Structure 1
């Protein structure tokens, strides 16, 4: 029996917080995991959450976590751990769902890229994993891929399906991808994180109002536009991806949109928990609190995100503009999407 394999990759210093959970945690909590023959799941808390395994002293653990927060140290490790989970669990016919927020969204895209470039190594090849991640996560993007070396490696170690090593992703759900590897803006150029050619269906929610310079938008530029639904949402980074405990209305809108796309393609959720999660959901959510970045960030040359022509904007933004004095700089040819966003669908 084919299964759903679900990975939820959280943002920087993400973890289960209770009243300030990210959308990755909230979605993971909705999953129906009662039947392991139908669906299993994996959650990663993101870079800068915990110290590296080799950090034994309090000072070393603190520096390790700080390295994750500032420089994004640990992203390769998180990528490798998610990939290893797939190695251990994937069988031909299984469907892969990957969700990510912030740097976790970039890790999700990198996982897709690694499955495109190298494929999925067979169980028993774990000792090659560090090498595989190093071969994938290198500078230069698609323009500097050592194809002969990659093809030989994949032929030796990757699983083959119909003579191909590339593994498709059924659904990729993303909240405001951040490409930079830390507060210090070091932006990797890992292969296929922009095009995502092996993702069959993609929904990407992008923040309109984020101002932190290192948190630049990272749009998808696929050659197969029919696979992509990318929409801009009101609020800053965590208004889209979650973690604001005082008023999560805006992030709940983005959660619902990404979740519904996954439900359309076979994700299994617990109906009772899902009903509770969206209890009270209404058009009034569009006027929920929009938060601000901390005062420290205002001293670091804020950057307004440019919204390019022809983009899709979530219809909740239009409703927010009608209900409040919110006036984002939208292009004249923007398209409104998800007009019935406030309607709850049966899960």
Structure 2
């Protein structure tokens, strides 16, 4: 049973940043599919529904990329819709999400406050990036001129943008031949971070080489690897762009005809080429503005620091910073889409044995039954028993810390169960297509080859499994999307705690 913690000193508070997964935005409808991120946010925020004291804890919620609430600052409806589609498909806007989360911390942080970061899917990527930015830049305590720090939203976002775009993202994606970060650019980024901490007084009081505000706790559900365009989405997006350019060309032709031009195929293609050329020029300029990086603040000549940062949003460093006190990761066993390859943390210098229990443990990564959203949530409540398991686990981890998260249990009603229904987004995607289209595709491919590319997660043989996984393996049968059958995921075929339940490889 969950409990409500109200202890703690009014001299230091919890600051919680929640970042949701793709397409997720809670609180829009009275009866909606909610992720674990939003469910926990509701139980930890200051509002009329909870007993959370703002002197003890403040929470900020960042909606997911591509959700209906994303791009709320865009007033033109059609552009906001296009922005959300691109955000869902390509990860467009995730830099702004990181900036928004960092800015929220700048507005309320005081020395000795504890920062908690929680996220799911691309939101997990976001909070891990925020944690890395905090480790580099800290939290400014004064303006560059030495005057008191301005904390209004516009000032906070401007400062956060400088920290993220000019420091944290410097050198992103530039690697050595062995895949490690480019040493020259990494060294320059460390110089930029040191300069930022000096200018804004955000270094640790007793060590200028350290940040003044490392995250106290990072909790994530199933961090995914790549946020860039897949081949299929690239082709689909290319088709959408071509159609959009055609419509713009027709609009141009409409005005040309009104001024005496005769409409013809030749006129259309001339307009199409003009629109395409102009759009390409704007795209190139935008690309250069956002992705070309260099600095004059380093000891190294500026031209040696000139580079293009990676356009795909992937993790180039999965090592957990040793100064982050507590990190928890709930991982999906059954996610079967190749594009959703998970990214666990690798061990940092001071990380104790993974799976070791106790409040002193820095990193615990545990595997759970179900696909991506069976772990991070976002299915209807009747089908959320598996995600309730992962949510309760994360809450138990967070409230058992020396400085616990404050959770109002009256807002949460969880029903975790090892026999909960399991989903399959590969099958669900194909099932959502028109029957005639599926039939047409099966003339070329097998039905099981349609939709997302298949994948089997690589679960280490000795990886920590949640007890609910072992309980599920013992059940006679469970519902796995469309079939009721024993739970025998291929990912656990060689696991030390599960391999004895599988038939021998030679069938005897």
Q: TM-score, normalised by structure 2?
A: 0.61
> Is the aligned partner of 1:201 residue 2:326?
yes
Instruction: Structure 2 unaligned segments of length 5 or more: list them.
Output: 1-10, 47-51, 142-148, 176-180, 232-310, 353-360, 431-448, 478-485, 499-508
Q: CA deviation at 1:192?
A: 5.1
Q: Does 1:26 align with 2:48?
A: no
Q: Report how far residue 150 of structure 1 moved.
A: 2.4
Residues in 2 aligned to 1:248 and 1:74: alpha-carbon distance in whole angstroms: 29
- Unaligned 5+ segments in structure 1 are 337-347
Matched, 1:63 2:188: no
Does structure 2 retain, via aligned residues, the 8 Å contact 1:109–1:196?
no
Q: How many residues align?
A: 330
Runs of 4+ in 1 over 6 A off after TM superposition: none
Q: Deviations over 1:133-169 (max 9, x none)?
A: 1121232375432122221122112423323325221
**Highest Rg: 1 or 2?**
2
In structure 2, distance between residues paired with 1:42 and 1:77: 15
Q: Is structure 2 residue 383 aligned with structure 1 residue 222?
A: no
> Are the equivalent residues in 1 in contact too, given 2:229–2:312 (CA < 8 A)?
no
CA distance in 1, matches of 2:126, 2:45: 24
State the TM-score, normalized to the length of structure 1: 0.87
Deviates more, 1:142-151 or 1:244-253: 142-151
After superposition, residues 1-347 of structure 1 pair within 5 angstroms as 1-16=11-26, 17=29, 18-31=31-44, 33=46, 34-49=52-67, 50-52=69-71, 55-122=74-141, 123-124=149-150, 126=156, 127-134=158-165, 135-137=167-169, 138-140=172-174, 142-143=181-182, 144-145=185-186, 146=188, 147-162=190-205, 163=207, 164-182=210-228, 184=230, 187-189=312-314, 193-223=318-348, 224-225=351-352, 226-245=361-380, 246-265=382-401, 266-274=404-412, 277-278=413-414, 281=415, 285-293=417-425, 294-296=428-430, 298-323=450-475, 324=477, 325-328=486-489, 329-330=491-492, 332=494, 334=496
Cα distance in 2, alignment partners of residues 128 and 25 from structure 1: 27
Contact 2:339 2:453 in 1 (8 A): no
**What whole-Å deviation, never above 9, does each CA across 1:206-236 have from its counterpart, x for those lacking one?**
1111111211110011221341110111111
Any conservation in 2 of the 1:68–1:182 contact (CA below 8 Å)?
no
What's the secondary structure of 2:340's corresponding residue? coil
Answer 1 or 2: which has greater helix percent: 2
Is residue 136–residue 190 contact of structure 1 (8 Å, CA) maintained in 2? no
- Secondary structure, counterpart of 2:226 in structure 1: coil
